[in-house]
């Protein structure tokens, strides 16, 4: 059995997978303390990981109806992410693997988001769908990263396009803040937008950019100017329309690039990952974008340890003696 840990940002996550990759438990403890600051405070996140990590692991083992003695491998996020937060997961994983003398996999967080598609997905009615086999195109859109990749095999991917400024999730979070909604903004914008008219306002869709890259910083500025021009009272009156139109611009920017990538590469399998992939409007918009569109359950889109375990299934594994030192250390930012 594999125990997987993920602590790269503000969610403390542990999962247990069977040797053949069946997901037995997937525990996510969202710290819920960062909204008062309007974003994640790295030191606060690290301290909470420290308090939560053992509890979350115990819960993952309990839910999987197993115990630590049955764990034969440990997988953990190495980076990119907040270095202090990563350090908690990595140290815990090294200690557990080292004490038990079992192999350890230090997994790239972004490979993890791609690998979430190696686990079963869901159809629009919530029924399970088969895992996706490479090659496939994968749109990863989260709070820290936005890129479109070609996953040619189980252990790597080629980046076809990426954001040149803000990540799509960051655009949701910053827009939400301007609309007076709490952090993380994506789910709140989606809820408010459901009551609004997406064609009420026009926001830029980064269409002027060449290739398969994205840009979201102009969109955020555009919302700022629109709110300023409307004034407080009119803004309050049409918040739902603003949210719906703003969300529409982000979803269109992402979906059009996916369609373009399918046309350019001829790869007819598409999947999505990252927190923004939990967005229902994006999920519906992408239906039919390729012959096969794989949609992971929402819990496998936002940060989770199951995807880290799924990526680790395909290695590489470090043997005892190879990871106890500083050779498996947290890796910081990556420009995607
Ligand atoms: O992948 P994730 O959990 O963490 C990172 O690695 O960043 O993504 C978090 C991001 C946040 O920006 C959040 O606002 C966004 O995903 N998000 C959403 C939704 N749920 C989470 N964005 C749009 N719609 C949602 N339903
Ligand atoms: Zn992530």
DSSP 11: E
Indicate whether residue 143 lines ligand 1 (CB < 6 A). yes
Indicate whether residue 181 lines ligand 1 (CB < 6 A). no
CA pair distance 120, 143, nearest whole angstrom = 24
Provide φ and ψ at 75, rounded to 5°.
-120, 145
Give the per-residue pLDDT at 209: 78
Q: How buried is residue 7: exposed, middle or buried, by Cβ count under 10 Å (0-12/13-18/19+)?
A: buried
Indicate whether residue 196 lines ligand 1 (CB < 6 A). no
Give the per-residue pLDDT at 207: 63
Residue 39 has pLDDT above 80, yes or no: no
CA pair distance 98, 80, nearest whole angstrom = 23
Residue 154, phi-psi category: left (phi > 0), alpha (psi -120 to 50), beta (remainder) = alpha
Ligand nearest to the CA of 274: 1
Q: How far is CA 91 from the centre of its chain?
A: 22
Q: What is the mean pLDDT of residues 300-319?
A: 95
Give the per-residue pLDDT at 247: 98
Q: What is the mean pLDDT of residues 265-280?
A: 97
Ligand nearest to the CA of 113: 2
Give the per-residue pLDDT at 18: 97
Give the global pTM.
0.93
Q: What is the mean pLDDT of residues 91-110?
A: 95
Residue 330 has pLDDT above 90, yes or no: no
Residue 234 has pLDDT above 70, yes or no: yes
Residue 309 has pLDDT above 90, yes or no: yes
Give the per-residue pLDDT at 327: 65
Query: Cis before residue 225, ω within 30 degrees of 0?
Result: no
Q: How far is CA 239 from CA 36, 192, 235, in A?
A: 21, 8, 6
Indicate whether residue 303 lines ligand 1 (CB < 6 A). yes
Residue 336 has pLDDT above 70, yes or no: no
Atom of ligand 1 nearest to the CA of 185: 14
CA pair distance 126, 107, nearest whole angstrom = 29
Q: For residue range 72-96, what is the model confidence (pLDDT) as tens digits? A: 999 999 999 999 999 999 999 999 9
Buried b (16+ CB within 10 A) or exposed e, 168-197: bbbbbbbbbbbbebebbbbbbbbebbeebe
Q: What is the mean pLDDT of residues 137-148?
A: 96
Atom of ligand 1 nearest to the CA of 273: 1
Average pLDDT over the chain reads: 93
Say which residue, 100 or 334, is predicted with more confidence.
100
Q: For residue range 8-36, what is the model confidence (pLDDT) as tens digits? A: 988 999 999 999 999 999 999 887 776 77
Residue 333 has pLDDT above 70, yes or no: no
Q: What percent of the chain has pLDDT over 70?
A: 96
Mutate to test the pocket of ligand 1, among 192, 248, 275, 303 (most ligand atoms within 8 A of CB): 275
Task: Characterize the bridge pairing of strands 158-162 and 128-129.
Answer: unpaired
The residue whose C-alpha atom lies closest to atom 8 belonging to ligand 1 is: 275
């Amino acid at each position: 059995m594999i125990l997987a840990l993920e602590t790269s940002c503000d969610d403390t996550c542990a999962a247990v997978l069977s040797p053949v990759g069946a997901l037995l438990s997937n525990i996510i403890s969202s710290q819920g303390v960062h909204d008062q600051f309007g974003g994640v405070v790295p030191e606060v996140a690290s301290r909470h990981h420290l308090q939560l990590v053992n509890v979350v692991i115990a819960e993952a083992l309990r839910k999987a109806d197993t115990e630590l003695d049955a764990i034969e491998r440990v997988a953990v996020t190495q980076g990119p992410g907040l270095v202090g937060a990563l350090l908690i997961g990595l140290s815990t994983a090294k200690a557990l693997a080292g004490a038990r003398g079992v192999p350890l996999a230090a997994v790239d967080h972004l490979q993890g988001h791609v690998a979430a598609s190696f686990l079963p997905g869901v159809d629009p009615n919530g029924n399970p769908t088969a895992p996706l086999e490479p090659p496939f195109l994968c749109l990863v859109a989260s709070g820290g990263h936005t890129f479109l990749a070609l996953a040619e095999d189980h252990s790597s991917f080629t980046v076809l396009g990426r954001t040149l400024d803000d990540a799509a999730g960051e655009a949701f979070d910053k827009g939400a803040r301007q609309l007076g909604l709490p952090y993380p903004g994506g789910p709140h914008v989606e809820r408010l937008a459901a009551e609004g008219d997406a064609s009420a306002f026009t926001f830029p869709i980064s269409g002027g950019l060449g290739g398969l890259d994205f840009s979201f910083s102009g969109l955020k500025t555009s919302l700022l100017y629109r709110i300023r021009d409307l004034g407080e009272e009119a803004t309050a009156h049409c918040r739902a329309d603003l949210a719906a139109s703003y969300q529409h611009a982000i979803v269109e920017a992402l979906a059009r690039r996916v369609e373009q990538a399918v046309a350019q590469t001829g790869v007819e399998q598409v999947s999505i990952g990252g927190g923004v992939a939990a967005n229902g409007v994006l999920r519906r918009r992408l239906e039919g974008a390729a012959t096969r569109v794989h949609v992971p359950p929402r819990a496998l889109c936002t940060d989770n340890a199951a995807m880290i375990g799924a990526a680790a299934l395909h290695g590489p594994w470090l043997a005892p003696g190879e990871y106890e030192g500083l050779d498996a250390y947290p890796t910081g930012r990556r420009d995607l």
